[in-house]
């Protein structure tokens, strides 16, 4: 292809160099930050020769071009734009800075609450199981096993402020252990448990009083401003709150960083920690805790009223998928965590389930109704993924792409949300929707009806309204197989007889194989870069999946490109968005130009570093020159060892 022509056309379609803030590239796509997205002509971008797809994510315009080509287009692009090459971190920072304040705040909250999901899910699932067994067997509730398991399941919720504090400290760049100390301080056993603040009997018993009033510490004596006693601290904890903890840790990070800059290094270790903790503790208990816990109570009360009110629940169910498209859905974790921290059921989860399951049903309807083979192969596995709570493949690969199914699913989510509010559904954890939600829901029969109603409405509407070929994108998808068939017929006259032989691509690492369409990344899941499979690694070394040549090792170590001796071009991409780690956690073994055989080591990676960074380790293995072949077939799923035959490629 003409790389310069492609670059010029991309630059023109985004509104010219004056509309460009920053540019970088990863293994498969250009990552651009745009001044004004309204000046970008996305339809023109998608029609440019060499561009395989366009989408916006995390404030970046991402233009899918493909491995081995994107770097060449990028080189021409920065020449034409007259900008310096930027790192992925530079682009990420530029995108974050460009985002509105409210969106940055929501992203920050998501960054705090998403990493603690495993602890919340584990505790919530265990709580649901223990309660279910207790209902089946009344004798079980009086056993030592019940008491032990009940203690286990409640730990994450009893000390939720500590988990939040540790995660927030990491996000804000503060010392994690100082953050943990602050979190522990806010649930200290010498303070009245936050859940008992309104309980007169508990107050009297805990403090040995008779008036039901929580005592205070008056740090500055009787100094008053009006009715307010300066420095007065109510002796209760914050077990039922999460937002005050986030605010406290944010302030703590600012104090700590300022002190590190201004305190001489020789006394830094003695001065900074104690000063940081002392000032943060005063702020937490005198100002931040009382004010923001009150505000949080109002927010939670409003959210609970909204989702328990049938009309409000319908509105939330309708708009929920739109927030997924905008990347704002992690903000709901804050509301759900607040509900659970306050000792209430999570009534947001059933509405999210209705919205997600409706997306699954709409994608399934498209998959069953479509005649185009590629649409079917994306839609049906994506529907299964969405039914388990992972909706991105269904939304970005099918529903939002064809749009009508997306709207039908939104209607299904609204009807499901309405039903959930009417029957009073709630959950004991957050972070789980769809079929796995059966483990944490309070009413299984009603939950079954919720899935049937939301999914049924979305499926029926999509089946009636959506028609294959009624949009420009549909027509392209419909015409593509014909064009491919004609191209292959022409190419066939020039190929040697042995080109029709099957070519095998093996698994590059031990792990669990899943269809590529179930990959939690819309670019890979849509097969825009080519067909293939994906693996969730259990090993730590990527090995060559073919006999051939290493034609590209990315400087960040997160991906490698190869060409087999029989002409199959392969991309192995370790994890999702791991380019943002800038090589941290990756060690390259092979180099460009190396001749390799199946099983030769290429890259070592550190699973802990990658997962601690919040990145998904699912590893796509893609045939990037899929269009050169008649078929690329996934041969296996489930647990495998490296060297197992994964893909069959045939002319």
How far CA 639 is from CA of 382, 542, 545, 644, in Å, comes to: 20, 16, 16, 10
* Whole-angstrom distance, CA of residue 116 vs CA of residue 156: 10
HEC letters along 592-620: CCCEECCCCEEEEECHHHHHHCCCCCCEE
CA distance 363 to 349: 21
- What distance in Å separates the CA atoms of residue 206 and residue 196, rounded to the nearest whole number? 10
Does 236 qualify as catalytic in the annotation?
Answer: no
CA angle 38, 44, 45 (to 5 degrees): 85
CA-closest candidate to residue 28, choices 57, 81, 64, 74: 64
Burial tier of 614 (Cβ tally within 10 Å: 0-12, 13-18, 19+): middle
Burial class for 322, CB neighbours closer than 10 Å (0-12, 13-18, 19+): middle
Question: Is 26 an active-site residue?
Answer: yes
Please count the other Cβ atoms lying within 10 Å of the Cβ belonging to residue 487. Answer: 12
Q: What are phi and psi of 648, to 5 degrees?
A: -110, 120
Q: How many CB atoms lie within 10 A of CB 214?
A: 16
Which is the catalytic residue, given 26, 330, 506, 558?
Answer: 26
Contact present, 575 and 519 (Cβ < 8 Å): no
CA distances to 163, 165, 175, 335, 586 from 184, rounded to whole Å, are 9, 9, 15, 22, 35
In contact, 444 and 376? CB cutoff 8 Å: no
The continuous run of DSSP H or E covering 33 comes out as: strand 29-34
> What contacts 15, CB < 8 A, 6 or more positions away?
34, 35, 36, 39, 40, 41
Contact by Cβ (8 Å): 107, 53: no
Q: Which of 25, 329, 558, 573 is catalytic?
A: 573
Cα-flanking dihedrals φ and ψ of residue 456, to 5°? -65, -45
Contact between 183 and 161 under an 8 Å Cβ cutoff? The reply is yes
Encoding tokens for residue 268?
């830094």
Q: How far apart are CA 572 and CA 565, in angstroms?
A: 17
Query: Could you tell me the two tokens for 152?
Result: 């286990």
Q: Is 187 helix (H, G, I), strand (E, B) or coil?
A: coil
Dihedrals phi, psi of 304, to nearest 5 degrees:
-65, -40
Burial string for 9-19 (b: 16+ CB within 10 Å, else e) reads bbbebbbeeeb
Residue in 227, 232, 241 with CA at minimum distance from that of residue 282 = 232
Which residues have a catalytic role annotated?
A: 26, 573
């Amino acid at each position: 292809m003409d790389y310069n022509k492609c670059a010029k056309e991309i630059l023109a379609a985004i509104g010219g160099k004056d509309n460009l803030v920053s540019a970088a590239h990863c293994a498969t796509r250009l990552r651009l930050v745009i001044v004004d997205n309204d000046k970008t002509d996305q339809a023109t971008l998608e029609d440019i020769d060499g561009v395989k797809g366009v989408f916006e994510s995390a404030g970046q315009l991402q233009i899918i071009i493909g491995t081995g080509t994107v770097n060449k287009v990028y080189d021409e692009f920065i020449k034409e734009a007259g900008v310096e090459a930027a790192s992925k971190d530079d682009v990420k920072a530029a995108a974050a800075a460009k985002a509105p304040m409210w969106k940055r705040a929501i992203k920050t909250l998501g960054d705090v609450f998403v990493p603690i999901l495993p602890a919340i899910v584990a505790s919530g699932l265990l709580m649901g199981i223990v309660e279910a067994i207790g209902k089946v067997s009344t004798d079980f509730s009086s056993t030592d096993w019940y008491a032990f398991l009940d203690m286990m399941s409640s730990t994450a919720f009893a000390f939720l402020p500590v988990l939040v504090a540790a995660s927030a400290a990491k996000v804000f760049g503060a010392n994690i252990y100082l953050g943990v100390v602050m979190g522990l301080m806010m649930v200290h056993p010498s303070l009245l448990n936050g859940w008992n603040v309104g309980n007169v009997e508990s107050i009297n018993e805990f403090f040995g009083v008779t008036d039901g009033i929580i005592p205070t510490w008056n740090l500055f004596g009787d100094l008053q401003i009006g009715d307010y006693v300066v420095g007065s601290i109510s002796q209760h904890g914050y077990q039922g709150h999460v937002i005050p903890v986030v605010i406290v840790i944010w302030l703590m990070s600012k104090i700590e960083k300022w002190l590190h800059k201004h305190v001489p290094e020789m006394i830094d270790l003695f001065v900074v920690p104690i000063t940081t903790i002392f000032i943060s503790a005063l702020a937490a208990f005198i100002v931040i805790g009382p004010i923001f816990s009150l505000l949080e109570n109002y927010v939670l009360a409003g959210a609970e009223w909204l989702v328990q009110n049938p009309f409000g629940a319908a509105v939330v169910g309708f708009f929920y998928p739109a927030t997924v498209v905008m990347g704002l859905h992690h903000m709901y974790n804050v509301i759900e965590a607040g509900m659970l921290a306050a000792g209430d059921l999570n009534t947001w989860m059933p509405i999210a389930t209705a919205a997600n399951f409706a997306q699954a049903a709409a994608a399934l309807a498209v998959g069953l109704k479509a005649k185009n083979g590629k649409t079917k192969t994306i839609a049906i596995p994506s529907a299964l993924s969405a039914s388990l709570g992972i909706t991105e493949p269904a939304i970005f690969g099918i529903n939002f792409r064809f749009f009508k199914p997306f709207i039908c699913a939104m209607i299904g989510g609204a009807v499901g949300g309405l039903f959930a509010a009417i029957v009073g559904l709630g959950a004991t954890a957050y972070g789980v929707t769809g079929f796995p939600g059966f483990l944490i829901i309070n009413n299984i029969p009603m939950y079954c009806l919720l899935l049937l109603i939301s999914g049924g409405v979305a499926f029926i509407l999509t089946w009636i309204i959506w028609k294959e070929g009624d949009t420009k994108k549909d027509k392209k998808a419909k015409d593509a197989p014909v064009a491919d068939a004609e191209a292959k017929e022409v190419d066939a006259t020039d190929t040697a007889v042995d080109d029709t032989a099957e070519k095998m691509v093996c698994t590059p690492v031990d792990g669990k194989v899943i269809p590529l369409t179930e990959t939690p990344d819309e670019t890979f899941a849509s097969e825009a870069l080519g067909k293939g499979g994906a693996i969730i690694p259990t090993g730590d070394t990527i090995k060559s999946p073919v006999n051939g040549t290493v034609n590209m090792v990315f400087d960040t170590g997160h991906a490698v490109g190869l060409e087999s001796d029989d002409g199959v071009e392969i991309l192995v991409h370790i994890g999702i968005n791991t380019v943002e780690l800038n090589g941290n956690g990756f060690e390259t073994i092979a180099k460009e130009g190396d001749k390799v055989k199946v099983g030769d080591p290429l890259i070592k990676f550190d699973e802990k570093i990658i997962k601690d960074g919040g990145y998904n380790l699912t590893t796509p293995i893609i045939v990037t020159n899929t269009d050169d072949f008649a078929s690329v077939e996934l041969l296996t799923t489930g647990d495998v060892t490296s060297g197992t035959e994964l893909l069959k490629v045939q002319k």
